Amino acid sequence: KRDDDRLQRYTFYHHAISSEALKGVQLTNALRKAIELNQFHLVYQPKVELGTAELKGVEALLRWNHPEHGNVSPMDFIPLAEKSGQINRIGDWVLEKAMRDMRAFEQPVLLNVNISAKQLIQENFVQNVHARLQETGFPAERLNLEITETVALYDVEKTMDKLNQLNKLGVKVSLDDFGTGYSSLSYLSKLPIDYLKVDRSFIRHLEADDTKKSIIKSIIEVAHNLNIQVVAEGIETEEQADLLHGYKCNLGQGFYFSKPLLFEDLLNYIGAGKSIAELR
Q: How far is the CB of 47 from ligand C2E (least distance, A)?
A: 10
- Is the CB of 17 or the CB of 262 nearer to ligand C2E? 262
Is there binding between residue 177 and Mg ion (CB under 5 A)?
Answer: yes
Q: Kindly indicate which of the ranges 77-85, 127-135, 154-162, 225-233 contains the residues binding Mg ion, using the contact rule CB under 5 A.
A: 225-233
> Under rule CB under 5 A, which residues in 97-126 are in contact with Mg ion?
114
- Give which of Mg ion, ligand C2E, none residue 188 binds (C-beta under 5 to 8 Å, depending on kind): none
- Give which of Mg ion, ligand C2E, none residue 78 binds (C-beta under 5 to 8 Å, depending on kind): ligand C2E
DSSP string, 168-236: HHT-EEEEEEETSSS--HHHHTTS--SEEEE-HHHHTTGGG-HHHHHHHHHHHHHHHHTT-EEEE----
Beta pairing class for 143-148 and 55-66: unpaired
- Is the CB of 235 or the CB of 243 nearer to ligand C2E? 235
Residues that bind ligand C2E (CB under 6 A): 45, 61-62, 73-75, 78, 94, 114-116, 146, 176-177, 233-236, 253-255, 260
Q: CA–CA separation, 77 vs 31, rounded Å?
A: 8
Q: How far is the CB of 257 from ligand C2E (least distance, A)?
A: 8
Using alpha carbons only, what angle is made at residue 163 by residues 162 and 165, rounded to the nearest 5 degrees? 65
- 194-218 burial, b at 16+ Cβ within 10 Å, e below that, comes to bbbbbbbebbeebeeeeebbeebbe
> Under rule CB under 5 A, which residues in 41-80 are in contact with Mg ion?
none
Query: Do the Cβ atoms of 69 and 19 come closer than 8 Å?
Result: no
Q: Which residues contribute to the site for Mg ion (CB under 5 A)? A: 114, 146, 176-177, 199-200, 233
